Chains A and B, each alone.
Chain A
Amino acid sequence: MTRDAVKATEEAVKQGKGTQSTDKGLARRELFRAAGLGVGALGAVAAGVTATGGPAEAAPAETASTGYRETDHVRKVYEVSRF
């Protein structure tokens, strides 16, 4: 989702238009669900997933850069998928 799309979604929410960002966003979400990529399908495995220590791992560079902001969403992704 682009930042503009996020902003548009927030505006829509503020104006009481629900949480649907765009028709495209809806179609995208429905595609994931239809394919079986529902939230939580990975269950406990998500907590067991750690990609660290692999032979070809990437590491974040200079995360203290001014371009970087950690939101709750990002933290959640960290916790569940990376730790």
Chain B
Amino acid sequence: MSRAVDHIVPPEVAEEELFRAQVYALLARLLARAPDAAFLNVLGELAGEGGAFGAALDQLADAARGSDPAAVEEEFTTLFIGVGGSERTPYGSFYLTGFLNEKPLAELRADMARLGIARADGVTEPEDHIAALCEMMAGLIGGEFAPEEGDVVGLDGQRAFFDRHIGSWAGRFFADLETSLSARFYRAVGTVGRSFLAVEARAFDLAA
């Protein structure tokens, strides 16, 4: 029997991990660029399943239904790109040190190399952008990368990455997003992110 069988996870656990990957991918998508009309329509159909995160999803759906695509695009630019300095700077290094491209980015790059994660061709943004980090978490959960040691990055490895590169600052970023003056749609994104990261952190504690 092939060794690959070793990695088959019981279905109910697999679904749970799958769901985590989906939330990270959703956050990555929303923070990498503004949603277009089609994506806003899909977001508007979200229905939470109770709890703090469920309530946050309901808010996101409400926000999506009440948002004009052009306005969301403008909001995204003002928040994250803005001429003469954006309202928010969604980089780990900035949040942790007050400057871009500082030591936290170097540490992230070292971990990325160890975990077999490379920046896509043509991407010039520093890797500690929140969207990139969420994408990396989704990939780690999905076993997408090729770490130097071992076949997959288990919960312990995911936790180490989360603690070092996300948990230390991203909660503050999402909370800031919730109170950003220019934010309308992205306030709801901030709430989804903050409540998800809180659950993630507690869940890692439980698994320890």
Q: Which residue of A lies closest to B135 (CB)?
A: A51
**Which of B4, B25, B48, B156 is the one whose CB lies under 8 Å from A71?**
B4
Q: List 6 A-B contacts (CB under 8 A).
A: A1-B9, A3-B151, A43-B47, A64-B146, A67-B149, A68-B146
CB-CB under 8 A from A34, the residues of chain B are: 50-51
Output the residue of A34, A58, A77 with the most chain B CB within 10 A: A58
With a CB–CB cut-off of 8 A, which chain B residues contact A70?
4, 143
The interface residues of chain A lying within 8 Å CB-to-CB of B32 are: 51, 53-57
Please name all residues of chain A whose beta carbon is closer than 8 Å to the beta carbon of B123 when the two chains form the complex.
55-57
Q: Are A36 and B48 in contact (CB under 8 A)?
A: yes
Contact status A39-B15, CB under 8 Å: yes
Task: List residues of B whose CB falls within 8 A of some A CB.
Answer: 3-4, 6-26, 28-29, 31-33, 38-39, 42-43, 45-57, 112, 116-121, 123, 125-127, 129, 131-132, 134-136, 138-139, 141-152, 154-156, 195-196, 199, 202-203, 206-207
Contact B25 A82 (CB under 8 A): yes
CA distance A58 to B133 in the complex (A): 8
The number of inter-chain residue pairs (CB within 8 angstroms) is: 270
Q: Given A36-B49, A43-B45: A59 and B22 within 8 A (CB)?
A: no
Q: Is B26 touching A41 in the complex (CB atoms < 8 A)?
A: no
- Name the B residues within 8 Å of A67 (CB-CB): 116, 146-151
The 10 closest A-B pairs by CB, nearest first: A54-B32, A36-B54, A36-B51, A77-B142, A56-B129, A56-B132, A61-B118, A59-B120, A65-B146, A2-B154
Known contacts A1-B154, A37-B53: A10-B8 contact under CB 8 Å: yes
Please name 17 further chain A to chain B contacts, defined as beta carbons within 8 Å, in addition to the given A25-B207, A81-B18, sorted by A numbering. Answer: A2-B156, A3-B150, A6-B7, A19-B13, A31-B199, A31-B202, A42-B46, A45-B26, A50-B25, A56-B132, A58-B132, A59-B120, A67-B149, A73-B7, A78-B144, A80-B21, A81-B25
CA distance A11 to B52 in the complex (A): 35
Residue of A nearest to B60 (CB): A45
**B199/A37 in contact, CB under 8 A:** yes
CB neighbours of B15 from chain A (8 A)? 39
CA gap between A6 and B4 in the complex, in Å: 12
Q: Are B7 and A60 in contact (CB under 8 A)?
A: no
* A61 CB to nearest chain B CB (Å): 4
Once A25-B13, A71-B8 are accepted as A-B contacts, the answer to whether A57 and B18 lie under 8 Å apart by CB is no
**Most B CB within 10 A of own CB, among A43, A56, A59:** A56
Query: How many angstroms between the C-alpha atoms of A81 and B29 in the bound complex?
Result: 10
CA distance A60 to B152 in the complex (A): 13
Chain B residues, Cβ within 8 Å of A25: 13, 207
Which of chain B's residues have a CB closer than 8 A to the CB of A60? 116-118, 139, 144-146
